[in-house]
Amino acid sequence: MKNLRSLCLGVLIAGASAYGASSGPAAAPGDPLTQQVMHQIRMYPNFSVFDDVKVRVDNGNVELMGEVTQPYKKNDLKRIVAHTPGVTSVTNDVKVLPLSNFDNRIRMQTARAIFRDPMLSKYAIQVVPPIHIIVDNGHVTLEGVVNTDTEKNVAGIRASGASLSFGPVVNNLRVENPSHKT
């Protein structure tokens, strides 16, 4: 089963678009080193929909930012990125989210609500969907990229109605194809 999962992971990532790991506004997506670092992060088998890592690359110096659900992921990502050809140094500012069964429950409820929606279910077939669900002490934030403004709004509505989160859901999803106003 693990070999099948690895095979599927490789096939799906090879065909997926470049937003499995968030590039964030600080990254230069066209930069070859940035693309290679992001590829390494997306290929990390423990990177999930509940993690969000952004990168900033400047002359071989890589800064990792974002959140992960386990301490070992932070360490693994730094090690993986440090071994990427062209990387001269790595600053690891990734936050490890609190280890909490309550937060895990919110993560699962929110993911089910978002990815079961017919409009958003197409993202669920990707190994690491472009919508990342970050839960920090009961507070839910959506990160990543969707295609349209409508999808962003639907994801926010589904997340808000799904969980036992404390406070409103923060919807930081970026829109790849914003609607044009005439």
Whole-model pTM?
A: 0.80
Q: Is the pLDDT score of 142 beyond 90?
A: yes
User: Which of the listed CATH numbers 3.40.1710, 3.30.1340, 3.10.20, 1.10.3470 matches domain 101-175?
Assistant: 3.30.1340
- Quickly count: other Cβ atoms within 10 Å of residue 99's Cβ: 10
Which class in CATH covers the domain with range 16-96?
alpha beta
State residue 127's pLDDT score: 81
d(CA 150, CA 154): 6
Predicted local confidence at residue 128, as pLDDT: 81
Q: What is the pLDDT of residue 6?
A: 37
**Which pLDDT tens digit goes with each residue over 79-132?**
999 999 999 999 999 999 999 999 999 999 999 999 999 999 999 998 889 999
Average per-residue pLDDT in the chain? 84
Burial 100-134 (b: 16+ CB within 10 A, else e): eeebeebbebbbebbbebebbeebeebbbbbbbbb
Alpha helices in the chain (DSSP H): 2-15, 32-43, 71-82, 101-115, 121-124, 149-162
User: 126: closest CA among 4, 7, 17, 2?
Assistant: 17
Question: For residue 4, what is the DSSP state?
Answer: H
Q: Quick one: tokens of 44?
A: 């990390």
* Residues carrying CATH 3.30.1340, the chain: 16-96, 101-175
Per-residue pLDDT tens for 147-173? Answer: 999 999 999 999 999 867 788 999 999
